[in-house]
Amino acid sequence: MDVLSPLNFVKISRIRMQGLLLLVFAKYHHLPYIQILSTKSTPTGFYGYWGNKGGVIMCLRLYGYYVSIINCHLPPHVSNNDQRLEHFDRILEMQNFEEQNIPNILDHDLILWFGDMNFRIQDFGLHFVRESITNQFYKDLWEKDQLSIAKKRDPLLREFQEGPLLFPPTYKFDTNSNNYDTSEKKRKPAWTDRILWRVKRKPYEHSFAHNLPGPLLSLSLRSYDSHMMYSISDHKPVTGTFDIELKPLLAVPLITIMPEGLWTMENDLLISYSASPDFLSSPWDWIGLYKVGMRHINDYVSYVWVKDNQVSFSGNLNQVYIDISSIPETEGQFLLCYYSNNMHSVVGVSNAFKMPLRFFLKDDILGEDQLVF
């Protein structure tokens, strides 16, 4: 949050299961178009009772599209490949959202799946693998990578894509070094840390000959790399950068907040907002005042319950006020966010604005009026 908040990224949700942690950030202007639908942990260790293995999953709607994000930790060792594939399938099968009226995960428009998948390089010996890495000759190693082999055989796994493995295997290193394992076990290097994705194929994607529209959502990989400079673990971290292109299914926010002409009272900030006809409000909805660069949704400088502080309403236009007397003077910019209790998410964000300099009149000891800022 320290690094990302100055870049206008806000933490919108998190989920953790023992060593598995999933954090999701978004730039604040996207917040009204992101709804967190479900966060779930699926343990697969010790017959499903222990969370040292398994996955943490976040399901959200992004501009009207269903998106699932999965971070996983699968069983280790080269001999446990079948068990890894079984856990992979089990994590998918456990994503049942019937109670929340969410489609099955395999019907989601996009699945991002990553983590310590623990797939290994089979058949080749330690010396051959290390020599291939030293010479940056990875082609033979790709052919014996267990995940690559499984993708050719498993119909479901085949639907997941991955970028080319142009970086050295990310496991196993001596901690605080770039040396592969020199312990007595001398683990064979492997690409254990992977990033996969699956875009749901629409029936019209392959119908260009009939002049039908192309896909509404597409994803392209910009970069896929490991980072050797980090050495606190026996793994090297892997990052993937993607471009998502989509035609928004939700193009207008449910709440429109108008920050222009807000300042009418000495110590109150008057806020006008309008709601779309299909928005279901709650007495527990609130509007927060934030400084640009906020870290998360609870990082407000002030807030107000919408129903308790309502000033007036006329047709679709509503007005509420926030007491700003306790807010220190600052040169920074501010935002207003409307939080929906029913949807557990931000449904409206104002444009950034500067807080005007407040002033009032008071009498000094000489009886003369002074203008105080």
Domain boundaries, the chain: 5-246, 255-360
Residue-level pLDDT at 366: 43
Task: Check whether 99 has a pLDDT greater than 70.
Answer: no
Nearest CA-CA partner of 259 in 305, 319, 327, 211: 319
- H helices present in 116-267, as ranges: 126-134, 139-143, 146-153, 155-158
pLDDT tens-digit series, residues 146-164: 999 999 999 999 999 999 9
- Categorize the per-residue pLDDT at 69 as very low, low, confident or very high, splitting at 50, 70 and 90: very high
Task: Check whether 320 has a pLDDT greater than 50.
Answer: yes
Domain 255-360 architecture: Sandwich (2.60)
E strand or H helix at 238: strand 238-246
Task: Check whether 172 has a pLDDT greater than 80.
Answer: yes
- Categorize the per-residue pLDDT at 48 as very low, low, confident or very high, splitting at 50, 70 and 90: low
SS3 state at 133: helix
Return the structure tokens found at 88. 């992979």
- Categorize the per-residue pLDDT at 263 as very low, low, confident or very high, splitting at 50, 70 and 90: low
SS3 state at 98: helix
pTM across the whole model: 0.88
Task: Check whether 220 has a pLDDT greater than 70.
Answer: yes
- Categorize the per-residue pLDDT at 202 as very low, low, confident or very high, splitting at 50, 70 and 90: low
- Categorize the per-residue pLDDT at 361 as very low, low, confident or very high, splitting at 50, 70 and 90: very low
Rounded to an integer, what is the distance from CA 57 to the centroid of its chain?
Answer: 11
Yes or no: say if 26 and 9 are a contact pair by the CB < 8 Å rule.
yes
Domain 5-246 architecture: 4-Layer Sandwich (3.60)
Nearest CA-CA partner of 349 in 249, 255, 275, 274: 255
The pLDDT of 69-90, averaged and rounded, is: 94
Residue-level pLDDT at 51: 66
* 32 Cβ contact list (under 8 Å, min separation 6): 253, 254, 255, 346, 347, 348, 349
pLDDT tens-digit series, residues 285-297: 999 999 999 999 9
The pLDDT of 90-95, averaged and rounded, is: 88
Return the structure tokens found at 304. 């107000």
